[in-house]
Chains A and B, each alone.
Chain A
Amino acid sequence: MSTAFRSCFVLSGFILAYFTYLLLGALVFSAIERPVEETLKSNLDSLKAEFLNLSCINATALEAFLEKVLKANKYGVSVLENGTLHTNWDLASSLFFANTMVTTVGYGHTTPLSDGGKAFSIVYALIGVPFTMLVLTACVQRLMHPLTYGPISMCQRRAGLQPRAASVVHFIVLLVLVVLFFFVVPALVFSTIEETWSFLDSFYFCFISLCTIGLGDFVPAEKPGQRLRALYKISVMVYLFVGLMVMFLVLRTFHKLADVHGWTAFFQLPSYEEEHEDKEPIVEREPDDESPEAEKASIKPQNPSSQVSYNSINR
């Protein structure tokens, strides 16, 4: 009973911490962004007033026009002169769109307009998201050997370090390499190719995409008149996929590190650990011949790397 109580306690502690964190974020964002918004609003007001003064249009006609423009813009259709040339749904762009969907990044710069498209997206996402997670887990599991276990055991053998120290050293090196090659270098590349992006913007874009948040305020290859658009989009796709895999790898390595240091035992919700053994799974594996293996798997110690369930993907 005490463990159940303790788990409830821990859970409510987390919820409270989460709320506080959100509140803090809200306050900071509000404080930073609101003044900028005010400026933009007043600029827009004056622009509209100017426009109306100069010309013979009345306000309602302009409003109606603007509404239509905005509606079109929401669909990614630009009314500007050079905007009619490219389409958002050629093969490369559709591929990019499908990729952002299954990796759950979801920029939103193009969204399905038709009812058929929306219905298809629902089904596509429901199947594609677990599918992608499966692939990424498989790849990461495979990559763990040369990239994590190998170097760590090498460290232990050559340098004679303890497992704990070796894993820490390895993790730091991995982190530095990942930040360098998957954030800094691509950010440089993006800031060169996209003229309106600064280095910070590109770095922000890389981060937001690789965490699969995908706000969509920056999307590469969207400039009208972009050269080699298809190639650019496809290389961005590849970068996102590989980057996602690497993020999972980093998280999984961190998990192993935490395991080695015993942190996971500390942070785990206590009910999880103890009750696991005697809880019967609701859904036994569909084929019954898997059950002996299942027991073997469940007895395995807390080794996150043995966890294959697709959802145990570290990002």
Chain B
Amino acid sequence: MAAPDLLDPKSATHNTKPRLSFSSKPIVYNSGDDCDTITTVMKWKTVVAIFLLVVLYLIIGATVFKALEQPQESTQKYLIVQEKINFLSRHACVNVSELEDLVKQVVLAIRAGVNPSGHPSNESSMWDLSSSFFFAGTVITTIGFGNVSPHTKGGRIFCIIYALLGIPLFGFLLAGVGDQLGTIFGKGIAKVEKMFVKWNVSQTKIRVTSTVLFILFGCLLFVALPALIFQHIEGWSALESIYFVVITLTTIGFGDFVAGGSEIEYLDYYKPIVWFWILVGLAYFAAVLSMIGDWLRVISKKTKEEVGEFRAHAAEWTANVSAEFKETRRRLSVEIYDKFQRAAYIKRKLSSELGQNPGQDMMPCKRTLSVNFTDELEKEGLPTLTKNGSLYLNGLTPDFPDRGEISIIEHLK
């Protein structure tokens, strides 16, 4: 298997965990197959199809978010406007523009991380060493909460350079952690599997059970437990804690909830533990997400296979049907031709009996045809008929013998 993608924190763990080798799945759509042109065509189609699917997914998400969030937003808006009006009416000496100015400044301050409410104490800063450490961590893991962000030119330039070097470094680290994690889990699960083997359970069931176990155990350790801790320490609701955990560990990192970001008095070792949890949790989440990705790929591959099978069946069916159709047509045309032959023969007999000249010029092909068909007049097995028929009726439409026969009959009359 290829080298781990060490440069990408999200992908790093995935490759280095052969034990939980969801990643060593065979190549799906872009399999380097034999015929290049065929795979090229298929690749594009698959990619375009999946792309459209993603766009659809986004649109669905957008509509749902809009439906869920817009009412809340309107309520907030209404409330705050009311508040403003109340304030202005209660304190008549304040004019609107002054208030606006103050609010603007306050908002800017908040975005800079300064809390103007209360007395901004000189002791706690958003840029003291531990907070800067946390910020540097969020940059490197690409979570990027954003509750704190650099405002100076120098800070921003440094941030760019820092991220350029730090993200690959973190990728290396994550690869290593993921590897260790995989080893530990793998050993545990191997033991469990041994137990199952004793009970003579099928391989697939073992594998499935071990996956489920892995997911459950990991969820418990990296999601449920931290969520409880956050709920207790930060004072968030259960949903908010889980939301924070998921948003952080998928490295989305909105920043509306940040562990260690509020004004509460934290224990000294709280922030380092949070950071350590992020590191290990990221490795776990990378594994889970890769598993989901693999399942999606398996589903898409299965669908593709099924579609391929369906197409193959359809093609086969069509081929069969058209072959049968052709055969029926041939049979029919042969029968019709045969009947006309008989009619012509009878006519000739009649005309010869009536003393007329039978020796008309018959078209050579017709003669050959008639000769052959008189042989076949006994109506041998249809296959032979069709075989001969196909030789001679090749290119001849069923109409042809009719017209020919009619002309001959007319000749004979």
Contacts and interface: CB of A to CB of B under 8 A. Distances in A.
Interface stretch (B106-114, B307-315, B334-342, B371-379): B106-114
Given A40-B108, A111-B256, A314-B5, 14 more contacts: A44-B109, A68-B79, A69-B83, A104-B253, A114-B68, A121-B246, A125-B252, A131-B296, A139-B51, A283-B207, A284-B207, A285-B25, A312-B5, A313-B8
A7 B18 CA distance: 15
A76 B254 CA distance: 13
Interface stretch (A56-64, A151-159, A160-168): A56-64
Interface in B13-32: 13-16, 18-32
A66 B128 CA distance: 25
B26 A285 contact: yes
Given A26-B136, A104-B251, A138 B30 contact: yes
B76 A130 contact: no
A2 to B, nearest CB: 16
Given A128-B61, A285-B298, A307 B69 contact: no
Interface in B218-254: 239-240, 242-243, 246-247, 250-254
Contacts of B102: 47-48, 51
Nearest to A4: B183
B70 A298 contact: no
Given A22-B140, A216-B146, A310-B290, A77 B22 contact: no
A200 B152 CA distance: 11
Contacts of A313: 5, 8, 10-11
Contact of A40 (B100, B114, B135, B252): B114
B413 interface: no
B363 interface: no
Contacts of B155: 29, 32-33, 36
B149 A37 contact: no
B55 to A, nearest CB: 10
Contact of A133 (B6, B10, B98, B130): B10
A162 to B, nearest CB: 21
Given A17-B169, A131-B296, A302-B3, A94 B62 contact: yes
A10 interface: yes
A239 interface: no
A5 interface: no
A196 B62 CA distance: 28
B281 interface: no
A221 interface: no
B292 to A, nearest CB: 4
Interface stretch (B88-96, B323-331, B395-403): B88-96
Contacts of A74: 256
Interface in B128-167: 128-130, 132-133, 135-140, 142-147, 149-160, 162-163, 165-167
A311 B27 CA distance: 13
A263 B157 CA distance: 29
Contact of A56 (B25, B91, B167, B179): B91
Contact of B286 (A259, A271, A311): A311
A140 B317 CA distance: 38
B66 A129 contact: no
Contact of B47 (A37, A138, A282, A284): A138
A309 B211 contact: no
Interface in A100-151: 100-102, 104-108, 111-122, 124-135, 138-139, 141-142
Given A32-B150, A282-B186, A309-B14, A142 B252 contact: no
A212 interface: yes
Contact of A89 (B15, B73, B146, B177): B73
Interface in B269-317: 286, 289-298, 302
A132 B54 contact: yes
A251 B11 CA distance: 12
A133 B293 contact: yes
A281 B65 CA distance: 39
B392 to A, nearest CB: 49
